[in-house]
Structure 1
Amino acid sequence: MPRREMARTPGRDLTSLFDPKSVAVVGASDDPAKYGHAIASQALRAPGRRPVHLVNRRGGTVLGRTAATSVAAIGEPVDLAVISVPGAGFEAAVDDALACGARALVAITAGFAETGAAGLARQHAITARVRDAGAVLVGPNCLGIADNTTELYLASDTFAPGGVALLSQSGNLALELQLRLAPHGSGFSRFVSLGNQADITLVDLVDDCAHHDGTSAIAVYAEDFGDGRAFAEAAAAAGKPVVLLTAGRGTASARSAQSHTGALTTSADVVAAACRDAGVHLVHTPREMTVVLAALDAQRPGAGRRTAILTDGGGHGAIAADAAETAGLDVPELGEGTQNRLRTVLWEQSAVGNPVDLAGMGEQDPRSYAATAGALLATDETDAVLMTGYFGGYAASAGGLGGGGTALSEGEVRAAREIARLRSERPKPLVVQSMYPASPSCRILADAGIPVFGATEDAARALAALTVTEPAGSTGIPPLPPPSVPLTDPGYHSVRTLLAAAGVRFPAAREVTDEAQLLCVAAEFDGPYVLKALHVLHKSDAGGVALRLPDAAALLAAYREMHARLGAPSYSVEAMADLTDGVELIVGVDRDPRFGPVAMVGLGGILTETLHDVAFALAPVPPARAEGLLRGLRTAGLLAGVRGRPAVDIAAAADAVARITEVAAAHPEFAELEVNPLLARPDGVLALDARAVLA
């Protein structure tokens, strides 16, 4: 399993952190260049909520208030201490706060694990003292915390109130999100700078925010998950949307790639799989994070991807349809009944197939937007609606509309109010893209909880965040099985025996080391035979596999040729499987240092790395999820049968995936476990090769 600095304590009480009875700012300063000045200034914004004490070792006054020389000198209980002092005085400040009964510490001071081994040792020692005292610690090397719901302001900046809890390893990113969310009327319930996560971890904070009434969504920027699997488990159990932005996803995990699994698995694959399994919204930029948060803050997700595009111009409609499909949504043609209903509210030249195009009718009667939106929200043929184009611009262009600008502007405002009413009555995801997103009409929509964006791709991404595409019960992190007795021999036949005991079917096979043994094996079962050189990396590429050997003579000849060329210490003689109507799959499990065992399923055989048609999930993979991974492959049509070939037994293949990944998850000594190929046939599956790499 991934290693952590200290074991996490589930369900930790963070009341003293987010709603303390009193606060001390240790290192408070009058010098605007010092962080202690910013923290103290913010802490004093709500002096009526709780006592706020300023501590400076020189005493005197800070920000016009008398400063104590230590926490002990305050003479009153302190529940939470923020420590922003030079590194040399940090331990003493921690001991002072703990001795005075502090239950929570926020450590701004840097110079610990991020500096190397000596700093890490100091961090370990301090964390142990905090935990022994029954307290909690955020940081060190963090930028503070804030909780708008309890008027706790212990960060250098002010965060607009709202429903988003932001847990971030970057202070500047928090400021950017604040700026980007402001036009959408969204803000923050909490902000926590994660720092080094010596004690309180990202997982602890996700757990706590999940139970925080003032938080409706959890936003995370993380460069280091620590225990990534625990994060995924916490996010899956949160019961609230979790949106993740992370860095470094494009680099390959540090490993010796001794198999296809190792060669094909990257950090990006692992994070994406964990997020999908946990139901986390994975985003790639601060802008995308803002878009998703603004959507989730405004509306609740709905089920299904069938999207109706409502536009007032063909160009906007076509672009929106492309953007919707790129975002993973479907834009199906509407049925005859819905099209007929649309024709009753639109004029003859309007397009009603999908996209639905007003074709200029809005300039005659802006209320046609509302009538059309209402019809699309009401039909059972759609799960969501994306409105795109000029709506919001009539008032802005009033002078150029033949004197009718005022009437059009007023009509557009009435249409906006009607759309807001219809959306409240028919709760289906509705997102708007407008050329004039700040117009009065669009402001009415936004105030009613209908997200409005200036960019088409943003509107499509927001709508994708509001649509539930996974069937009920398909997300969640599977529990790890109890560890099994370690396998000390990672040889081919040992791995086969282990998997066979778990119910994975293999052809008959025997290991041989000389010609006499080979001929004895040939007498045990009939040909055709397969001969494999063992202990040879990538046997097929090295010419270490001979297929369809019809009899003992051919088997012996192949053995002599292969042994002269490769000199392998041993060989496997196997019954040749019937490859007719079969599809070769690969099932591999790689042990990620942060997320634990990660499964890979895809098209197998010698073209695995060339085609790169694979899917990932945290292991073990239950059969239903395994079947979903198989059906989601680009080449899934091969499994369903093409050009007269019969369909393979996908359920049996999914069951084999479940058994293989369960074995891998139960053996933490495996760095990798791989079955390639796993032959899927109409009458079941057969594993034709297997290998394991010990950690």
Structure 2
Amino acid sequence: MDASSKELDTGLKGLFNPRSVAVIGASSTPGKWGFEYARQLLGGASNRDVYLVNQRGEMIHGQQSYPSVSALPVGAELAVICVPAMHVQRAVDEALDAGTRYFVCVTAGFKESGEEGCRLENEMCDRIRAAGARLVGPNCVGLYDAAAGLSCTAFWDLPPGDIGIISQSGGVIVDLGTRLPREGLGISRAVSVGNQADLTVAEFIESFALDPSTRVITAYIEEFREGRRLFEAVEYARSLGKEVILVAPRASDAVGRSVASHTGSMTSNEDVLVSTCADLDVVRVRGLGDLLLAIRGLSAPAQARGRRVAVLADGGGSATLGTDAVVAEGLEVPQFSETLVSKLKEIAPDSGVGNPVDLVGALDLAVFEPVIRQIAASGEIDAILLNGAFNNVAGAPAESEQAVADKIRTVCSDAGIALTVASMMTEEPAMVALANKRVPVFDFPAEAARALELSRNRVPNRSLTFNDVASLFAGSTDYLSSREALGSAGISFSKALYAGNADEAAKAAQQIGYPVVLKALGSLHKSDSGAVVLGILDEQTLRNKVEILSANLRPKGFSVEEMISEKDGIELLIGGVRDPAFGSTVVVAAGGTKTEIWRDRAVALAPVRKDAALRLLKSLRIAPLFGGFRGSSKIDLEKVAEAIAAMSRFMAEHKNVLEAEINPLIVGAERCVAVDARIVTRDA
């Protein structure tokens, strides 16, 4: 979708730059929302008409108010609703009749207050949508646009800049409005989304992406809704060259429902969020401290194009600490080439120059300048982290230090290399000069390394895949039917036959061939309840086991199955869960009866292709076993990846499947065979 059609879809231009605004519930009493909104909006009255609606027709901030919306000389494009919840619907109806297209509902007492509030919110939203209008909130604290001179807020006093803020918390916007100016930064747009009855975080991301004044978009999210839609909006914003940072505290540990499978009990919203951010290489932080580090890195003259970092320090300890900080962030400190080392030796013959670079006796930043110039020109690194004192011990004039700092900054930015600095002397003229040019300067190397990681160029492993033709799974979800359905999806299963009694079990075993496995049907976790007997070698033993299981468990029948025994085989779990926020997912984990103890799993949005399935496999802690360990056989990863991809397609194609699971999937050097299956549907 191109930018023009996306703008047509979102239709938010008039929200952030309306021709006229009406404050419904304007007040002459200081401290009330209606008083503060009127004050802020009147401050931008040179950019638009501002009408105040107060049922007593009072003078407010020196302007005459109107007793009702119908008394306004013209209908306002944007209406700000500050009346009590019981009067909101009437205010909305009057504004819609007057032609209002956008609403900001400050009033609380809707969905967040209970069932009746939820009903009122839905009714209000339905009327607004039916009229083709849009709503921010309810229970929000407004919006702001620096370029349009719009302060549709109560208490915000925001500095102009190029950072866009979308938040489920008005307090976060106030916090950033206070902190960003300290870094020489400001806000282009801000919006408090409230209950998101109509307009959502995803739609605001798309709108901000089209705003020429916004360079970096930040979204503070406490509750994920329609997670795929959100990430689609992030992908769209990045396609337009806008950076996006998600500020999301840890998501819930449960998926919000009772789960029937190992897969469901192991998978949380947090798992899906972490996996999706990693797959799409989206910056996600959990707090405002990391958010500020990311913004500072993204506001620097250049961002790292990759993970290769050169660490330069004025001592061995500083070099070690800088290197440790970089590696802890998942970045690399690669060994320099012999050619580069040779050039650096000519400049600093008595120093360690292999990366990290420890410049012996470097008491002045000027000593670093020729070294940085050579490293920047080498093409071997993506970023430089300077860690040291950099104090003016030689008494050089401040202008001289600043000139050296400017040279270093220019060399790095011209080469497209990110530069961050950690120094105990952040007030030195050179450090101040770098900071004034937006080079991130910190007290500690951990902060400098974190800023590099959060601001590096992002390279997604995949794009989102959507299935708009998902159907309902109409098959039975009993054990044998689940095996058949997943087998039809492309997963290989061991042979299995139903048996109602001992005679039928004997016939089934003869057809399959001994040894066999006997499973009593009807138990949710068959192994835990003793419903599985492995390695039965003869008919008499089989009949005895049928008799015992019948007496103990009163099963609905039996499954007689081929006994799978793979030399050096590994048991895996593959499955899927329908997450309330993100939809269908696929899970791969260490399998068997102890899968919930190991909790070694990887999650991704479904469907995934084979290459993504391989990445999931290789991310497991048990992955070293796949290549053969102490003489064991290598497993066939390609076949496992095909099975994972098949499971992911099954989940994506059936919108009523809540859970699906194969545990274990037995894999070896030549075979990849499922021996158990479960499917749970919404109506099961």
Distance 2:248 2:663 in 1: 32
Aligned residue for 1:271?
Answer: 273
Match of 2:653 among 653, 666, 683: 666
Maintained 8 Å contact 1:181/1:294: no
Structure 1 residues 9 and 94 mapped into 2: Cα distance closer, same or farther (>3 Å)?
Answer: farther
Q: Which residues of 2 match residues 443-522 of structure 1 at below 5 A?
A: 443-468=432-457, 470=459, 474-480=461-467, 482-522=469-509
Instruction: Pick one of 129, 132, 135 that aligns with 1:131.
Output: 129
Instruction: Give how far 1:458 is off.
Output: 2.1
Once the two structures are TM-superposed, the CA of residue 300 in structure 1 deviates from its matched residue by 5.7
Distance 1:250 1:332 in 2: 38
Q: Quick one: distance in 2 between partners of 1:299 and 1:687?
A: 54
Tell me the SS of whatever aligns to 1:606: coil
CA 1:10–1:198 in structure 2 vs 1: closer, same or farther (change >3 Å)? farther
User: What amino acid is the match of 2:272?
Assistant: V
Residue 311 of structure 1: CA displacement?
1.6
Q: Which amino acid aligns with 2:539?
A: A
The gaps in structure 1 that reach 5 residues or longer are 1-7, 395-400
Aligned counterpart in structure 1 of residue 320 of structure 2, from 318, 321, 327 = 318
Deviation of 1:176 after TM superposition, in Å, equals 1.6
Match in the other structure for 2:528: 541
Q: Helix, strand or coil for the counterpart of 1:387?
A: strand
Partner letter of residue 382 of structure 1? Answer: I
Q: Which amino acid aligns with 1:377?
A: A
Say which SS state the counterpart of residue 176 (structure 1) adopts: helix
Equivalent residue for 2:179? 180
The C-alpha deviation readout for 1:604-627, integer Å capped at 9, x for no partner, is: 222322222111111122211111
Tell whether the 8 Å contact from 1:216 to 1:297 is kept in structure 2 after alignment: no
Q: Is the 8 A contact 2:201 2:230 kept in 1?
A: yes
- Counterpart of 1:692 in 2: which secondary structure? strand
Over 3 Å counting, the alpha-carbon distance change for 1:214 and 1:540 in structure 2 is same
| Map of 1:28 onto structure 2 | 26
Structure 1 residue 582, shift from structure 2 partner: 2.3
For the 8 Å contact 2:301–2:413, the answer to whether it is kept is no
| Structure 2 equivalent of residue 398 of structure 1 | none
SS of equivalent to 1:532: strand
Q: Which moved more, 1:457-466 or 1:378-387?
A: 378-387
Residue identity matched to 2:661? E
Selected match of 1:441 from 425, 430, 433 = 430
Alignment-mate amino acid for residue 90 of structure 1: V
Out of 86, 99, 102, the residue aligned to residue 101 of structure 1 is: 99
**Cα distance, 1:564 vs structure 2:** 3.7
Checking the alignment, whether the CA contact within 8 Å between 1:429 and 1:466 is kept in structure 2 is no
State which drifts further: 417-426 or 681-690: 681-690
**How many pairs were matched up?**
673
Give the Cα–Cα distance (whole angstroms) in 2 for the partners of residues 376 and 559 of structure 1. 74
Name which of 248, 259, 280 aligns with 1:257.
259
Query: Structure 2 stretches of 5 or more lacking a match?
Result: 1-5
Give the corresponding residue for 2:3: none
Inter-CA distance 571–320: structure 2 relative to 1 (3 Å threshold): farther
Pair 1:491–1:654, CA change in 2 (3 A): same
- Cα pair distance change 1:443/1:11, threshold 3 Å: farther
Alignment partner of 1:11: what SS? helix
Q: 1:77 to 1:567 in 2, by over 3 A?
A: closer
Work out whether 1:359 is the aligned partner of 2:360: yes
SS at match of 1:298: coil
Q: Deviations over 1:409-444 (max 9, x none)?
A: 544322211111111211022222232445432333
2:62 to 46, 61, 64: 64
C-alpha RMSD of matched pairs (Å): 2.3
Task: Find out whether 1:624 has 2:625 as its counterpart.
Answer: no
1:560 aligned counterpart, secondary structure: helix
2:243 corresponds, among 234, 241, 244, to: 241
**How far, CA to CA, are the matches of 1:378 and 1:136 in structure 2?**
52
SS for the counterpart of 1:78 is coil
One-letter identity of the residue aligned with 2:408: I
Deviation at 1:306, TM superposition (A): 2.2
Question: 2:297, 2:303 within 8 Å by CA — same for their partners in 1?
Answer: no
Q: Kindly state the Cα deviation for residue 684 of structure 1 after the two structures are TM-superposed.
A: 4.3
1:319 CA drift (Å) = 2.3
Distance of 2:417 and 2:448 partners within structure 1: 15
Of 419, 435, 455, the residue aligned with 2:408 is 419
Distance 1:443 1:76, change over 3 A: farther
CA distance in 1, matches of 2:8, 2:639: 38
Cα deviation, residue 301, structure 1: 4.5
Give the residue type in structure 2 aligned to 1:632: S
**Contact 1:487–1:669, Cα closer than 8 Å, also in 2:** no
| Counterparts of 2:615 and 2:43, CA distance in 1 | 52
The Cα shift of 1:276 comes to 2.7
8 A Cα contact 1:59 1:68, kept in partner = yes
SS in 1 for 2:491: coil
**Is the contact made by 2:112 and 2:118 (CA closer than 8 Å) also made in structure 1?**
yes
Residues 387-398 of structure 1 mapped to structure 2, 5 A cutoff: 387-391=386-390, 393-394=391-392
Q: CA deviation at 1:669?
A: 2.2
- Asked whether the 8 Å contact 1:295–1:463 carries over to 2, the reply is yes
Secondary structure of the structure 2 residue equivalent to 1:406: coil
Matches within 5 A, 1:75-90: 75-90=73-88
Q: Could you tell me which residue of structure 2 aligns to residue 3 of structure 1?
A: none
The answer to whether the 8 Å contact 1:506/1:688 transfers is yes
Distance 1:9 1:188 in 2: 21
Question: How much has 1:255 moved relative to structure 2?
Answer: 2.4
Q: Is the 8 A contact 2:279 2:462 kept in 1?
A: yes
Q: Structure 1 residue 298 and structure 2 residue 287: aligned?
A: no
1:643/1:117 Cα in 2 relative to 1: closer, same or farther (>3 Å)?
same
| Range that drifts further, 543-552 or 524-533 | 543-552
Residues 271 and 376 of structure 1, relative CA distance in 2, 3 Å threshold: same
2:302–2:419: 8 Å Cα contact kept in structure 1? no
CA contact (8 A) 1:301 1:465 kept: no
Distance 1:100 1:219, change over 3 A: same
Distance change in 2, residues 1:152/1:669 (3 Å) = same
Deviates more, 1:58-67 or 1:274-283: 274-283
In the alignment, which residue of structure 2 is the partner of 1:4? none
Native 8 Å contact 1:184 1:451 kept in 2: no
- Does structure 2 conserve the Cα–Cα contact (< 8 Å) formed by 1:11 and 1:208? no
Q: TM-score, normalised by structure 1?
A: 0.92
2:179 maps to a residue whose letter is: R
Alignment counterpart, residue 49 of structure 1, candidates 33, 47, 59: 47
- Secondary structure of the residue aligned to 2:96 is helix
Structure 1 window deviating more from structure 2 (296-305 vs 678-687): it is 296-305
Distance 1:184 1:647 in 2: 53
Give the structure 1 partner of residue 666 of structure 2.
679
- Secondary structure of 2:594's counterpart equals helix
Check the 8 A contact 2:303/2:416 in 1, yes or no: no
TM-score of the superposed pair, with normalisation by structure 2: 0.93
